[in-house]
Amino acid sequence: MLLSNLNLLAQAPNGVARLRELILTLAVQGKLVPQDPSDEPASELLKKIRAEKDRLVAEGKIKRDKPLAEIAEEEKPFELPNGWSWVKGRDLFSVIRGVTYQKADARETPAETHLPILRANNIRGTVNLDDLVYVPAALISEDQFLRVGDYVVCLASGSKNLVGKAAPFKESLVCSFGAFCGAIRPIQEIAYFAVYLASPMYRDSVSEASAGIGINNLKGSSLLDLDIALPPAAEQSRIVTRVEELMRLCDALEAKGQLETTQHAQLVSTLLATLTESDTPAQLADNWHRIATHFDLLLDRPEAVDALEQTILQLAVRGLLVPQDPQDEPASELLKKIRAEKDKLIAQGKIKRDKPQPPIAEDEQPFALPQGWEWATMDGLASQITDGAHHTPTYIAEGVPFLSVKDLSSGFIDFSDTRFISSQSHEDLAKRCNPEMGDVLLTKIGTTGIAVVVDTPRAFSLFVSVALIKLPSVSVDRDFLSLVINSPFVRQQSEDGTEGVGNKNLVLRKIKAFQIPIPPLAEQSRIVTRVAQLRRLCADLRQRLIASQSTQAHLAEALVQEVA
């Protein structure tokens, strides 16, 4: 059943990862390969391991454990197949603590007196030898040198997911491991142990055992107390072989899925590009018709719908989404009225005098505009472009909302998780930056280039990470301007205008220089209406795809439960 339904499992959301977990779960429960009554039972293997452990104790190589009671029936997680035995971790291995060293003792380059140390970042399912540090050899005791057959395990980390992560050590390198790690050292080589340490059963056990505030710690004693289902030696070999075969199959499914995802994205990008490269509405209609016949193939995943939505915005700013009307007053007249309104505000002392921008030269225009459209800069359209507070204010429990990028990154103003400042602080900040209904906000630090029209009368202030764009009373349609800023065309300008490393900043002078294509005012309204219609269709399609994926996930989950 597992093999016959691999494709269904692999195609479900996060399917290959869940398939790997299922394989490992079946393996450690004795359900992956059939049992053979002629196999020597695990109880006989345990006798040999105990004899070897007694020998090591007698030679003083390991310490003798205190006798422990057998695992009670009610403590056993599941019923074992014939020939299997429940054992404690201490019956199979010892745990070695890592090397403690001072930061000053460590170096990043090899030295004759220093040896490499593995840390948590070197444990990634396999041992990774990148980014090693080196500590004085004198700090490393004999039993802390890693041996082939050991398993390096992360014992402490800020991430719950990393604690307990183990990898087999197969290297010929002379090295040890740091204090946040440990080594599981089997008393006798057990290849099956790698399967157990990768299984969800092991991960769940160590996750439950790890504890801490900030840093999660897993004690060596918790590893020694693990309840492990041990198969007969012969069956262990069959399990390891089968797991390796199925994991290679998962690798192939994963590679195939990645290849298909890449190829699909390239196909979607290529075909949608034919739309944005259309020169006229008639040409767009022809290209759209050709693509529409393949929408069932193209738009079969949410990221493809996202790409379509961006294409719609790009078509909108190119003037290809709605027909032009020769009766519309041209954008040149609108720009004259905006200039006159700004001059009036300057004369009244309400805004500062700006430097009128020269027309964008024909050879600098990114693309040809339809009849009646004009190019403008953001500074030429706005009466004010500023940003929020350049200092962190004093926060209070309740008061006036103080918004930053995180409150706008969803594409709308979200007051659900905002901080608050006092009314006096807001009044002081509002003297320079006072957002009001109809203003346009633009994220400028971190996640840059997201535009949101203020659609609430609620008073609020802004942090420096958000720009405020105020428009004169005679202006472009606010929703159209937001649409243009969020389009790939202006988003690229945002990206090009972003400066710095790490927490990058879209500086105000770059925002002021944004090149904006301006249609006649009446056409702006038609574009906004059409984009809203198409976006609703995209949202509906996205929801149907999510529902389809959910159904697929439920089917896969039901199959997993049936197989397990």
- pLDDT, tens digit, 9 for 90 and up, residues 132-142: 999 999 999 99
- pLDDT, tens digit, 9 for 90 and up, residues 489-543: 999 999 988 887 667 889 999 999 999 999 999 999 999 999 999 999 889 888 8
pLDDT score of 259: 74
pLDDT score of 498: 86
pLDDT score of 407: 96
Higher pLDDT, 541 or 421: 421
- Residue pair 275/311 in contact by the 8 Å Cβ criterion: yes
Arithmetic mean of pLDDT, 411-438: 95
Kindly indicate the confidence band of residue 559, based on its pLDDT and cuts at 50, 70 and 90: low
pLDDT score of 520: 97
**Do 186 and 78 lie in a common domain?**
yes
pLDDT at residue 213 is higher than 70: no
pLDDT score of 10: 57
**Do 489 and 351 lie in a common domain?**
yes
Last residue in a domain, options 185, 203, 231: 231
pLDDT score of 6: 55
**Do 83 and 143 lie in a common domain?**
yes
pLDDT score of 119: 92
Kindly indicate the confidence band of residue 556, based on its pLDDT and cuts at 50, 70 and 90: low
Last residue in a domain, options 173, 203, 231: 231
pLDDT at residue 37 is higher than 90: yes
Higher pLDDT, 401 or 362: 401
pLDDT score of 141: 94
Q: What CATH number is associated with residue 140?
A: 3.90.220.20
Last residue in a domain, options 231, 256, 277: 231
- pLDDT, tens digit, 9 for 90 and up, residues 366-396: 888 999 999 999 999 999 999 999 999 999 9
- Count of domains in the chain? 3
Among 66-75, 325-334, 414-423, 477-486, the least confident range: 66-75
Summary mean pLDDT of the chain? 88
CB atoms within 10 A of CB 157: 22
pLDDT at residue 2 is higher than 60: no
Arithmetic mean of pLDDT, 339-344: 92
Q: Give strand ranges (E) for 245-404.
A: 374-377, 384-387, 400-403
**Do 3 and 19 lie in a common domain?**
yes
Residue type, 346: I
> Which pairs with CB-CB distance under 8 Å and at least 24 residues apart come from 491-499?
491/449, 494/448, 494/449, 495/448, 495/449, 498/448, 498/449
pLDDT score of 74: 74
Question: Domain limits at 86?
Answer: 40-231
Among 209-218, 348-357, 449-458, the least confident range: 209-218
**Do 269 and 381 lie in a common domain?**
no
Helix (H) or strand (E) holding 560, with range, is helix 521-563
- Residue pair 451/411 in contact by the 8 Å Cβ criterion: no
**Do 430 and 378 lie in a common domain?**
yes
**Do 183 and 293 lie in a common domain?**
no
pLDDT at residue 288 is higher than 60: yes
pLDDT over 90, % of the chain:
59
pLDDT at residue 85 is higher than 60: yes
**Do 418 and 434 lie in a common domain?**
yes
Among 35-49, 206-220, 237-251, 546-560, the least confident range: 546-560
pLDDT score of 7: 59
**Do 419 and 477 lie in a common domain?**
yes
> Which pairs with CB-CB distance under 8 Å and at least 24 residues apart come from 236-239?
236/190, 236/191, 236/192, 237/191, 237/192, 238/33, 239/27, 239/32, 239/33, 239/192, 239/195
pLDDT score of 446: 87
pLDDT at residue 339 is higher than 80: yes
Kindly indicate the confidence band of residue 313, based on its pLDDT and cuts at 50, 70 and 90: very high
- Residues facing 184 on adjacent strands: 95, 151
Instruction: Give the pTM.
Output: 0.61
**Do 69 and 29 lie in a common domain?**
no
Among 215-219, 433-437, 553-557, the least confident range: 553-557
Which of 14-18, 38-42, 208-212, 277-281 holds the top average pLDDT? Answer: 38-42
**Do 206 and 111 lie in a common domain?**
yes
Among 266-280, 316-330, 515-529, the least confident range: 266-280
Kindly indicate the confidence band of residue 56, based on its pLDDT and cuts at 50, 70 and 90: confident
pLDDT score of 5: 54
Among 64-78, 247-261, 433-447, 524-538, the least confident range: 64-78
Higher pLDDT, 375 or 261: 375
**Do 23 and 66 lie in a common domain?**
no
DSSP 17-63: HHHHHHHHHHHHTT-SS---TTSPPHHHHHHHHHHHHHHHHHTTSSP
Higher pLDDT, 156 or 289: 156
pLDDT score of 285: 84
Calculate ∠ Cα 23-27-31, nearest 5°: 100
CB proximity list for 314: less than 8 A, separation 6 or greater: 276, 487, 488, 489
CB atoms within 10 A of CB 32: 20
The single residue listed with the structure tokens 């004085």 is 136
pLDDT at residue 402 is higher than 90: yes
pLDDT at residue 551 is higher than 70: no
331: region left, alpha or beta (phi > 0 left; psi from -120 to 50 alpha): alpha
Arithmetic mean of pLDDT, 394-409: 95
